Structure 1
Amino acid sequence: MRSWAVRLVPLAVLPALVAALAGCQSARKADPDATPSRKPVVAGDRYVALGDSYTSAPAVGEPTGPPACQQTDRNYPHLLAEALDLDLVDVSCGGAKTPNMTTQPQVAGTDRLPPQVEAVTEDTALVTISIGANNGSVYGNLVIRCAQLALADPDGAPCSDLAQQNDDVLPTVFDGVVEGIVETVDAVLERAPDARVVVVGYPQIFPAEGTCPELPLAEGDYPFGRGVIEAFVQAQARAATESGAEYVDVWAATEGHDICADEPWIAGFEPAKAATPYHPYAEEQEAVAGLLEDLVARQG
């Protein structure tokens, strides 16, 4: 089991950090000559999907692509392509980080995969990007390492307590997510100047209040986990603004459907239906596909 790859930011710091990410005015202005297209996507257009396991959607449908990437044919790229009759190239891969979008090959099982942006060609009309939470191995540590710590202190806040000792690294991870997504959008536009580029945010995973057996963290660590994911979401939104890309707010659309909800769209420790632990159910992927369809089928 991996230990924390990054030091955690204190819980007390997270609200200010999220607010800063949300309200930050970019020092980098989108280049008017490299601004993504807002033209409606039409049948037959080439669509390239970039992302991690929240895009590949492991176990939600039949496997496609490299086995270790865990792409399935009912993930939101496939659903969107089916709805709009698009020519889909899905290069999303579980475990991907922002460097795997542009510069760093990803080793997935026995496969060594090129940077995902290499799938973008000049005739590409649409690119979606959803990435960030694997940077620093943060997400895996939230749902695995924090659960381990909870075994010894179920009523406390061991992850948050650990975070109190270190407050400088996770903000750097979030800044790296912003930079990585902006670089990805820039790289897409270098390859496909007329492409429509959409950054897709993460859903609500941790509950706003309460606890549940499906998410076996210490009681006091639930707000910490939610705050970390919200900070990733704000980093994604900020990157979209800085790069001139469009943004799909999946966080807002999944309110009331976190792991602990009565109707969860994210699987917990023991999935109740087709999914892998701590990853989307089909309902979440269908919701994202619907949001994207509404956006890209019209003028931006």
Structure 2
Amino acid sequence: MRLSRITAYASSLLLAAGFALIGAGPAKSAEQAAAINYVALGDSYSSGVGAGSYDSGSGDCKRSTKAYPVLWKNAHAPAAFSFTACSGARTGDVVNNQLGPLSSSTTLVSISIGGNDAGFADVMTTCVLQSESSCIARVNEAKRYVDTTLPGNLDKTYSAISSKAPNAHVVVLGYPRFYKLNGSCTLGLSENERTAINGAADYLNAATAKRVADHGFTFAGVVPAFTGHEICSGSAWLHSVNWGNIGESYHPTAAGQSGGYLPTFSGAV
């Protein structure tokens, strides 16, 4: 009988320990989330242009409730969240206008930047409205800018982030390729133009990734997530030319934010 009581007592201790371990998981996760102070910086790809559902208080910055920073915040409930990404932002705009919420207590930062510096909007306008040769010449001009000027601008931006938020894990997100080559599109740009534009996206991503690595940040490329969902894929997560709202052209849809940018960011956090 004594042995039976000892066995039962041991079993109850083990059972209690098991419940304690099971309960420790969610508590630890909640504790980790409570310690996260997240600031979302960047351009229109981070503010959510193209996803709709814009916060009226954000004005021309067009910050969307369907943008990946908000979706991540909703899923993880960080202790603090600040969203200063803005449509049209260049590196200088980030440094001058977006870094206010950063501090030594900031633990997580996301940013996409560099496309506007390199003349993204003008490249696409040229390619849509002018000849193939003009399009490719404008793409090559943008690539020269990426070679000569953009690295210094990125360095200034990343250094400013590090200075204000020295303890933060910084995730820099890239840009998708716009087109599925030999896809379903029968009108619009030529395959040569689409190839050149995709190549420019790769060129920009590669240059950005190098500067990111040199600053000890994390580069999160979205090309894999968007593969099969480019324009001309039949299941696009990017707007083509949107004449009704031209500013949304060549930006991720709500599905592109939730299916492309959100999991890519989450995997890098």
1:131 maps to which residue?
Answer: 113
* 1:258 match: 230
In the other structure, the counterpart of 2:104 is 122
Q: Which amino acid aligns with 1:182?
A: D
| Distance (Å, rounded) in 2 between the aligned partners of 1:211 and 1:222 | 13
Decide which of 207, 222, 226 is 2:198's aligned counterpart.
226
Q: For residue 36 of structure 1, what is the aligned residue in structure 2?
A: none
Tell me which residue corresponds to 1:92: 85
**Normalising by structure 2, what TM-score?**
0.78
Match for residue 203 of structure 1 among 168, 172, 176:
176
**1:78 equivalenced with 2:70 (yes/no):** yes
**Residue in 1 aligned with 2:94?**
101
Residues 143-172 of structure 1: CA deviation (Å, up to 9, x unaligned): 21211114xxxxx54422x459xx677423
1:246 maps onto 2:218 in alignment = yes
Amino acid at match of 1:198: V
1:268 is displaced (CA, Å) by 0.8
User: 1:132-171, aligned counterparts within 5 Å?
Assistant: 132-136=114-118, 138-150=119-131, 156-160=132-136, 162=137, 170-171=143-144
Percent of residue pairs identical: 28
In structure 1, runs of 5+ residues without a counterpart are 1-39, 104-113, 151-155
Structure 1 position 183 matched with structure 2 position 174? no
Residues 174 and 49 (structure 1), Cα distance of their counterparts in 2 relative to 1, 3 Å cut: farther
Change (3 A) 1:41 1:280: farther
Structure 1 residues 219 and 193, CA, compared in 2 at 3 Å: closer, same or farther?
Answer: closer
Q: Give the letter aligned to residue 196 of structure 2.
A: F
C-alpha distance in 2 between matches for 1:211 and 1:178: 36
State whether structure 2 residue 249 is matched by structure 1 residue 277.
yes
Between Structure 1 and Structure 2, the one with more strand by share is 1
Q: 1:208 offset after TM fit, Å? A: 3.6
Contact 1:97 1:132 in 2 (8 A): yes
Question: Does the Cα contact within 8 Å between 1:117 and 1:184 map onto a contact in 2?
Answer: no
Superposed structure 1 runs of 4+ greater than 4 Å apart: none
Distance 2:141 2:168 in 1: 37
Pair 1:211–1:99, CA change in 2 (3 A): farther
Q: Distance in 1 between matches of 2:227 and 2:144?
A: 25
2:51 aligned with 1:47: no
CA contact (8 A) 1:46 1:123 kept: yes
- Separation of aligned partners in 1, 2:222 and 2:213: 16
Whichever of the two has the greater Rg, that structure is 2
TM-score normalised by the chain length of structure 1: 0.70
The offset of 1:220, in angstroms, is: 2.8
- Which SS does the other structure have where 2:265 is aligned? helix
Greater share of helix: 2
Out of 55, 61, 67, the position equivalent to 1:69 is 61
- The alignment partner of 1:92 has SS state of coil
Is the CA contact (8 Å cut-off) linking 2:50 and 2:248 kept in structure 1?
yes
Q: Which moved more, 1:228-237 or 1:178-187?
A: 178-187
Q: Shift of the alpha carbon at 1:280?
A: 0.4
Query: Structure 1 residue 54: deviation in Å?
Result: 0.8
Kindly indicate whether the alpha-carbon contact (under 8 Å) linking 1:147 and 1:218 is maintained by their aligned counterparts in 2. Answer: no
- Superposed CA deviations along residues 30-55 of structure 1, whole A, max 9, x for unmatched, are xxxxxxxxxx9623522111111111
Match of 1:217 in 2: 189
Aligned counterparts of 2:75 and 2:267: Cα–Cα separation in 1: 11
Contact 1:84/1:293 (CA < 8 Å) preserved in 2? no
